[in-house]
């Protein structure tokens, strides 16, 4: 199954490929109406606008570093996942988007292994039944995901950071695929590069994720980027990923729509590139 991921509402509505993912909410803080008949993506704790307006809401590391877009290693602002008001508003937004259909959750976990050490997180961890911070962080994210999934009429897809090494997702972001699989219908892993002049790393990560989550009751989809890539290379790479995934989606802009149609024609024949 091959699809498209885009922030262009018109392109998302054209039915290019087998399925479409649309950025209804982005890490910038921008929010738009969801599109019918697609998988609408919602940025969870990634919200640069909120962090800029209220820096104290950002997740904080033990050395006081805030998860803000101007901080090295952070490309967007990340709100603390235990912020109760933000959490409640986020669940309301997911319910609104989920009333249209399928939902993809992005920036679902903590923004790094040392986050969050705000006073609230320290208190909640101390009051919890766990003496393992990684276990506690995982429970925070899993419980949120379970609540979110109950609010969605369609399927729920969780985005995983591209690190399949055992335990790394849990340690880095509080994401436990086995626990999440009880509440979501699938996982999407971005494997984005420019041009894909070398592809061994993509295949290695795909194989690793196949081993890590392939036995769970959840589909596995990989995201590729069209930036600087040729149609033949993208089609070749997608074919190599087929044995490790249930689907591949191509992240694209309106200006690359013809490229995606060429890729789909290469993969499935000319009829696959026709707009529905």
- In DSSP notation, the chain reads -EEEEES-HHHHTTT-SSEEEEESB-TTS-B-PPPTTSEEEEESSB-HHHHHH-GGGB-B-TTS-B--TTSTT-SS-BB-TT-HHHHHHHHHHHHHHHTTS-EEEES-S-SSTT---SHHHHHHHHHSS-S-HHHHHHHHHHHHHHHHHHT-SS-EEEE--S--STTHHHHHHS--HHHHTTT-SEEEEE---STTS--HHHHHHHHHHHHHHTTSSSEEEEEEE-TT--HHHHHHHHHHHGGG-SEEEEEE-GGGHHHHHHHHHHHH-GGGGS--
Domain 2-273: homologous superfamily in CATH:
Glycosidases (3.20.20.80)
pLDDT value of position 270: 53
Task: Pull the structure tokens for residue 58.
Answer: 């950002």
> What pLDDT is stored for residue 274 in this prediction?
39
pLDDT, one tens digit for every residue, the chain (276 residues): 899 999 999 998 888 888 999 999 999 999 999 999 999 999 999 999 999 999 999 999 999 999 999 998 899 999 999 999 999 999 999 999 999 999 999 999 999 999 999 999 999 999 999 999 999 999 999 999 999 999 999 999 999 999 999 999 999 999 999 999 999 999 999 999 888 988 999 999 999 999 999 899 999 999 999 888 889 999 999 999 999 999 999 998 888 888 888 999 989 875 444 333
Whole-angstrom distance, CA of residue 223 vs CA of residue 160: 11
Q: What is the 3-state secondary structure (H, E, C) of 41-72?
A: EEECCECHHHHHHCHHHECECCCCCECCCCCC
How high is the pLDDT of residue 46?
A: 97
Q: What is the pTM of this model?
A: 0.93
């Amino acid at each position: 199954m091959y699809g498209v991921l885009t922030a262009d509402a018109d392109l998302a509505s054209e039915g290019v490929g087998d399925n479409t993912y649309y950025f209804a909410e982005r890490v910038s803080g921008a929010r738009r109406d969801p599109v019918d008949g697609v998988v609408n993506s919602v940025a969870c704790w990634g919200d640069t606008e909120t962090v800029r307006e209220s820096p104290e809401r950002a997740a904080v590391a033990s050395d006081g570093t805030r998860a803000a877009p101007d901080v090295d290693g952070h490309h967007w602002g990340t709100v603390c996942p235990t912020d109760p008001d933000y959490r409640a508003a986020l669940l309301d937004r997911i319910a609104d988007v989920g009333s249209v259909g399928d939902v993809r959750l992005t920036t679902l976990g903590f923004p790094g292994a040392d986050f969050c050490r705000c006073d609230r997180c320290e208190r909640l961890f101390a009051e919890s039944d766990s003496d393992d911070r990684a276990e506690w962080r995982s429970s925070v994210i899993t419980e949120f995901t379970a609540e979110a999934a109950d609010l969605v009429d369609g399927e729920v897809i969780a985005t995983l950071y591209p690190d399949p090494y055992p335990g790394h997702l849990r340690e880095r972001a509080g994401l436990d695929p086995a626990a999440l699989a009880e509440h979501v219908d699938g996982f999407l892993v971005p494997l984005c590069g420019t041009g894909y002049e070398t592809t061994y790393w993509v295949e290695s990560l795909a194989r690793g994720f196949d081993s890590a989550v392939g036995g769970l009751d959840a589909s596995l989809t990989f995201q590729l980027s069209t930036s600087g890539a040729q149609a033949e290379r993208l089609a070749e790479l997608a074919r190599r990923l087929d044995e490790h995934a249930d689907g591949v989606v191509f992240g694209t802009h309106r200006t690359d729509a013809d490229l995606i149609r060429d890729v789909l024609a290469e993969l499935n024949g000319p009829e696959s590139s026709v707009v529905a």
